[in-house]
Amino acid sequence: MDGLTTRLKTWFPSAPWARPWPPAKDDGATTDPALPPVGHLVNLPGGLAGSQGIGYDYVLGSGGLYVQSESAHLTARIPAAPAAVRGLAPVTEKVTLHHGPIPAHVFELGLSWMRSDPDTERFFAVGWDGNAYRLVVPPQAGTATSLTYRSPGRVVAEFHSHGKHAAFFSVTDDRDEQGFRIYGVVGRLRDPRPELALRLGVYGHFAPLRWAQVFDGPPSPALRLSGPGTATTLTNLHTRR
């Protein structure tokens, strides 16, 4: 409980509490209720109100609805449903990698492995081993239009390739990428400059990311960064299981 309360006050350091948290008993001692997996908070001008969840929280502010979560590797808050809500205080977006940005050369190792077989979809992840970021390549079976693998647990980022097709997040990707981590897709692997699209996933909610929010150092000149919405009409070109 103390950890959850500390986390929330770290996210909103200047916000007073609109009501006590944790809730108090009649004698003033705090209770320890069973927390739900999802919390719901409202950022009122006078302070935060609501209850926090163990997994993630929805936060309503003047700019709409946000979703936030924290793991051993990542803290993030992203928009879930932008809207103008009168009478509430603003909520800001946030993305923090607890171990610092991922070294660009770690991603480039994975990219080189993908480019060694550009017509086959491939997957790799980036994990934290306690001292450094490491490439994680689980057993997998890929074809030109499909990819089967077991997603490794406790990783910071996941990347998969689309072979010769554009770098875009498909409907299948949206369905499969339901964790809390950074996601990337690589495309145009037969081109001299392949494409990369990045996003943050918070349990089914997504927000695009820039290279500098994820990696340490500039991107390779041989890599094109793809913006949100690229090639969204091609969502039926590949499947993942």
User: How many domains is the chain partitioned into structurally?
Assistant: 2
Q: What pLDDT score was predicted for residue 209?
A: 97
Select from 67, 74, 69, 64 the least CA-distant residue to 101.
74
Question: In terms of C-beta distances under 8 Å and separation of at least 24 residues, what long-range contacts does 32-39 make, across chains too?
Answer: 32/1, 35/1, 35/4
Q: Which among 72, 97, 122 is the end of a domain? A: 97
Question: Do residues 75 and 119 both lie within one domain?
Answer: no
Which structural domain, as residue segments, surrounds residue 8?
Answer: 2-97
Question: Do residues 232 and 114 both lie within one domain?
Answer: yes
Distance (Å) of CA 85 to CA 14, 65, 191, 239: 20, 9, 46, 39
pLDDT in tens, the chain (241 residues): 445 555 555 566 555 444 444 443 344 444 446 789 999 999 999 999 999 999 999 999 999 999 999 999 999 999 999 999 999 999 999 999 999 999 999 999 999 999 999 999 999 999 999 999 999 999 999 999 899 998 898 899 999 999 999 999 999 999 999 999 999 999 999 999 999 999 999 999 999 999 999 999 899 898 999 865 433 333 333 445 4
Q: Is the Cβ–Cβ distance between 159 and 107 less than 8 Å?
A: yes
Q: Is the Cβ–Cβ distance between 201 and 179 less than 8 Å?
A: yes
Q: Is the Cβ–Cβ distance between 62 and 90 less than 8 Å?
A: yes
Q: What pLDDT score was predicted for residue 232?
A: 35
Q: What pLDDT score was predicted for residue 14?
A: 54
Question: Do residues 60 and 110 both lie within one domain?
Answer: no
Question: Do residues 136 and 162 both lie within one domain?
Answer: yes
Question: Do residues 89 and 120 both lie within one domain?
Answer: no
Q: What pLDDT score was predicted for residue 4?
A: 54
Question: Do residues 48 and 109 both lie within one domain?
Answer: no
What is d(CA 78, CA 139) in angstroms, rounded to the nearest whole number?
Answer: 32
Other residues' Cβ atoms within 10 Å of the Cβ of residue 142? 21
Q: What pLDDT score was predicted for residue 233?
A: 31
Question: Do residues 53 and 113 both lie within one domain?
Answer: no
Q: Which among 97, 123, 152 is the end of a domain? A: 97
Q: Which among 64, 97, 130 is the end of a domain? A: 97
Question: Do residues 110 and 14 both lie within one domain?
Answer: no
How confident is the model over 180-213, as pLDDT tens digits?
999 999 999 999 999 999 999 999 999 999 999 9
Q: What pLDDT score was predicted for residue 34?
A: 75
Question: Do residues 120 and 180 both lie within one domain?
Answer: yes
Provide φ and ψ at 218, rounded to 5°: -75, 155
Other residues' Cβ atoms within 10 Å of the Cβ of residue 90? 9
Q: Is the pTM of this model over 0.75?
A: yes
Q: What pLDDT score was predicted for residue 191?
A: 95
| Residues β-bridged to residue 38 | 56
Question: Do residues 118 and 206 both lie within one domain?
Answer: yes
Query: What size, in residues, is the chain?
Result: 241
CATH of the domain at 220: 3.40.140.10
Question: Do residues 63 and 111 both lie within one domain?
Answer: no
Q: What pLDDT score was predicted for residue 228?
A: 54
Question: Do residues 109 and 92 both lie within one domain?
Answer: no
